[in-house]
Amino acid sequence: MSLVIIFLTIIVTLIVIFKLRLKFSFGWCQSQKCLSGKTVIVTGASTGIGFETALNFAKRGAKVILACRNYDRAAKARRLIIEKTDNTNIYVKLIDLGSFESVKGFTRDINQNEDRLDILVNNAAVAQTDQRKSKDGYYLGMQVNYFSLFLLTNLLLELMQKTGSARIVNVSSAVAKLAFRVDFSDICKNFEDLNMYCRTKLYIILFTKELARRLKNTTVTTYSVHPGAVKIDGCKTTTMWWIFDSIRNWFSKTAEEGAQTSIFCSLEKNIEMYSGRHFEDCRVVGDYNTVGVSGLQETLWDMTEKLVGIKQEEQIYRNENCGDSFLLHFYKNIRM
């Protein structure tokens, strides 16, 4: 019996230490920045990290646009944010990232009716690993997590550049480290198990790096973030799953804690020099090994641009000092 008590004491102590580290370490955004007069968009803002990110912006006085697929859940989130902040400048706008037409309709609305866009947080994602396809014929997980993020961001860039100093934060994940056999010749292929999800998170990091390069001479900066392991509502249909989820969640961040790095990259002063870099726990980190292959980011951008149907006038051209990579020429020659 005494061994059981000792074991439980050790477990509880480890949990307490882990939680205290989150609360008092560099993993918490300390910015006091006011967002009065600023406009922000958060995708997937009805629950979880997206909701907590939007709530934080609302507390700072921002006009917050909740970009969500489900109106009822988004409207509920809006009511809760207003109740918690007394900020009534909160709006729901529908967007289905599984449809390019929906993304284009959303951006037309924003570009026509908003005079500025200071912060865009691309938070929405699905852990899609099955064979379901989107309305556009792509695997749903790939389109929601990456293709539509690419399209949405590109179509809002002109407004952000007109705004002046603006930031784009792309929520990725450390699972990008696990992406394997990266070959853009099969970018539209379905991948079994978690490989598709891992690839989409890798593509987000590569997209962020290339976007930063193309925006080098502008006042718009961009960052990718790993939010950490965050509590989720798992499958609790059996006692075993309930125990598994409970133990996992003990060692996971809350949604509020998971939102901190997104908030940090949206608000923190003097991080413009890190545009294109990846952040964890509110600090910049080195590139994952899967990211450091020369030419990947340019090649991925070039192929994605055509897959999502970006028009020539909507393209962001490369800085004149940055030439195409050998790999990019290779893929161009293939298509010709």
- Active-site residues, by number, are 197
CB contact set of 207 (below 8 Å; sequence gap of 6+): 146, 149, 150, 170, 297, 300, 301, 304
Spatial contact of 204 and 172, defined as CB atoms under 8 Å apart: yes
Rounded to the nearest 10°, the torsion over CA 294, 166, 56, 25 is 50
How far CA 113 is from CA of 146, 152, 187, 306, in Å, comes to 26, 16, 35, 28
* Start-end of H helices in the chain: 2-24, 48-59, 71-85, 100-113, 140-142, 148-163, 195-214, 239-250, 255-258, 260-267, 296-307, 326-335
DSSP letter for each residue of 104-115: HHHHHHHHHH-S
Count Cα atoms within 13 angstroms, Cβ side, for 34.
3
